[in-house]
């Protein structure tokens, strides 16, 4: 008996995307149906329920998230992958909230997309109770785009938040300073059932041990000099809610021992009292330290580490998600408007490129400060590179000298190309392009050589197709949108 093919319904108003996905999935052995709108998708699903729906979030007749909610309400077992060309934390989290199996952005990486489909069906085979991930995310998170990003690392963070938030599991958030660990803690609390109760934040690095213990556990009247009244600690104040312990790696071993008892027994005593106080809280911690190394150095309790690391969320540094910088810049330009109703300050392409090129050792916090400073200095005029806080005049002078040299090198290479006869033009032009790329990068890196080869392949495909981009994309085996982006990147528009 022949094996039944897995069925996939592709819902997208872009005919090219539908056609490309159909060809790809049929080649992989899937049975594929197509729908150009939400209404067509509902009709197709009513007639024959597919194993998987791949659905664009922007549909001509209705919102994709609304359609997702309807499909999951009527067919709880149906798996859905949401597709979009516009990434963002709200959309990603909302998609996972309403039961999407995964969330992918266009243009697709084919291997990643096929791997995602494989995971969907492996998950269905392994469990007879495949159900939607119904994540109770607060509406305020969708309305306030507080965590900005559409890069692959950030989409993974958003999806993990959506999965973890409804539980009471202890969460450890790691990442360098300025990556936004506190924002993750806030998002977890807002999306949890503890949202009506307080989120209490404590910086373990801001207080010495004696004051930190008083801050955390409170004290009885007369328990030490100056204790004139009884005082509740942060744990007691966070009862029924969430406590966020920032920079947990700075906590002393003595305080770590008391924290371990709270995690184990959910009770503590105020300083100066032997009466245990029962509490019902969720604990979220954060650190920029490597706690595994701290455990090896005997600076952090191993048993406490395992208690805290039930769920681990790592915030990537900004240098590893530079695709998010334009989105973050736009977000901060809106945030730092002179007045709430004012039009946000614009930014020049040169300034934006300098922001993208910067390494950002201070991460998102440094970027936020840079934009706020630039908005103030520009006084409502477009922000230029001169308004940015990094790169002094000496650096700019050296950069200008280097650019002048590169311009001269480019002119020399261009002259070489002009002297070539027609039979040797293409080969020598490729050499000249490669040499120019080496000058621009400062070295003959692997990446520059690959880019040179890629440019040449695209140029040859376009020549053979007489400039027809669809034919060239088919020959190269890539999506048309990706080809358009590469043509623009390599200056092949003409």
At 72-97, the pLDDT tens digits run: 888 877 888 888 776 556 677 777 77
Average of pLDDT values for 60-64? 85
* Structure confidence by residue, pLDDT tens digits, 97-127: 788 888 888 777 888 888 888 888 876 665 4
- Return the closest-CA partner of residue 140 out of 202, 178, 92, 186: 186
For the chain, list the domains and their CATH numbers: 7-143 (3.40.50.2300), 167-314 (3.40.50.300), 318-387 (1.10.8.60), 400-489 (no CATH)
Confidence of residue 228 (pLDDT cuts 50, 70, 90): confident
Q: How far apart are CA 97 and CA 119, in angstroms?
A: 19
Per-residue confidence (pLDDT) for residue 446, from 0 to 100: 55
State pTM to two decimals. Answer: 0.55
Confidence of residue 298 (pLDDT cuts 50, 70, 90): very high
Q: Which residues, 6 or more positions from 365, have their beta carbon under 8 angstroms from its beta carbon?
A: 177, 178, 180
Terminus-to-terminus CA distance in the chain, angstroms? Answer: 55
- Return the closest-CA partner of residue 268 out of 224, 215, 222: 215
Confidence of residue 289 (pLDDT cuts 50, 70, 90): very high
- 438 pLDDT above the threshold of 70: no
Cβ 194 vs Cβ 166: under 8 Å: no
Which range, of 23-32, 73-82, 306-315, averages the lowest pLDDT? 73-82
Average of pLDDT values for 262-291? 91
- Pull the structure tokens for residue 208: 């010495």
Q: How far apart are CA 112 and CA 121, in angstroms?
A: 15
Residue 31, judged by CB atoms within 10 A of its CB (0-12, 13-18, 19+), counts as middle
Per-residue confidence (pLDDT) for residue 138, from 0 to 100: 31
Q: Mind giving me the DSSP string for 104-139?
A: EESSPPHHHHHHHHHHHHHHHHH-S-----B----H
Average of pLDDT values for 184-206? 91
Q: What does the mean pLDDT of the chain come to?
A: 80
Strand partners, 311: 171
């Amino acid at each position: 008996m022949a094996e039944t093919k897995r069925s996939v319904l592709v819902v997208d108003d872009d005919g090219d995307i539908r056609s490309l996905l159909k060809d790809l999935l049929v080649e992989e052995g899937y049975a594929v149906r197509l729908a150009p709108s939400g209404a067509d998708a509902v009709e197709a699903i009513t007639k024959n329920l597919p194993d998987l729906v791949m659905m664009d979030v922007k549909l001509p007749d209705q919102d994709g998230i609304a359609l997702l909610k309807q499909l999951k309400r009527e067919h709880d077992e149906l798996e859905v992958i949401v597709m979009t060309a516009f990434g963002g934390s709200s959309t990603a989290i909302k998609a996972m909230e309403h039961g999407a199996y995964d969330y992918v952005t266009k243009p697709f990486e084919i291997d990643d997309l096929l791997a995602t489909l494989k995971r969907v069906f492996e998950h269905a085979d392994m469990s007879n109770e495949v159900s939607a991930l119904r994540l109770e995310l607060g509406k305020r998170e969708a309305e306030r785009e507080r965590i900005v990003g559409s890069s692959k690392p950030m989409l993974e963070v958003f999806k993990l938040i959506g999965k973890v938030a409804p539980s009471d599991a202890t969460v450890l958030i790691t990442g360098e300073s300025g990556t936004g660990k506190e924002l993750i803690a806030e998002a977890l609390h807002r999306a949890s059932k503890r949202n009506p109760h307080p989120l209490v934040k404590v910086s373990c690095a801001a207080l010495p041990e004696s004051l930190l213990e008083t801050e955390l556990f409170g004290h009885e009247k007369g328990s030490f000099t100056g204790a004139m009244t009884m005082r509740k600690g942060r744990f007691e104040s966070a009862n029924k809610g969430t406590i966020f312990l920032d920079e947990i790696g700075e906590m002393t071993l003595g305080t770590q021992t008391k924290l371990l008892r709270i995690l184990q027994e959910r009770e503590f005593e105020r300083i100066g009292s032997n009466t245990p106080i029962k509490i019902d809280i969720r604990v979220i911690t954060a650190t920029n330290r490597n706690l595994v190394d701290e455990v090896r150095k005997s600076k952090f309790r191993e048993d406490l580490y395992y208690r805290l690391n039930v769920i681990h969320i790592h915030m990537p540094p900004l240098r590893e998600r530079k695709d998010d910088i334009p989105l973050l810049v736009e977000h901060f330009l809106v945030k730092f408007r002179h007045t709430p109703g004012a039009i946000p300050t614009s930014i020049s392409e040169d300034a934006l490129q300098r922001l993208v090129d910067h390494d950002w050792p201070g991460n998102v916090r440094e970027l936020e400060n840079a934009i706020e400073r630039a908005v103030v200095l520009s006084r409502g005029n477009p922000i230029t590179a001169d308004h940015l806080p990094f790169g002094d005049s000496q650096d700019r002078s050296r950069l200008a000298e280097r650019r002048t040299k590169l311009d001269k090198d480019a002119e020399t290479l261009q002259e070489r190309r002009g002297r070539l006869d027609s039979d040797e033009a293409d080969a020598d032009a490729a050499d000249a392009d490669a040499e120019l790329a080496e000058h621009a990068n400062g070295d003959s890196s692997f990446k520059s050589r690959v880019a040179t080869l890629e440019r040449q392949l695209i140029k040859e495909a376009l020549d053979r197709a007489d400039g027809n981009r669809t034919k060239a994309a088919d020959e190269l085996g890539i999506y048309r949108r990706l080809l358009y982006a590469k043509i623009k990147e390599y200056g092949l528009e003409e």
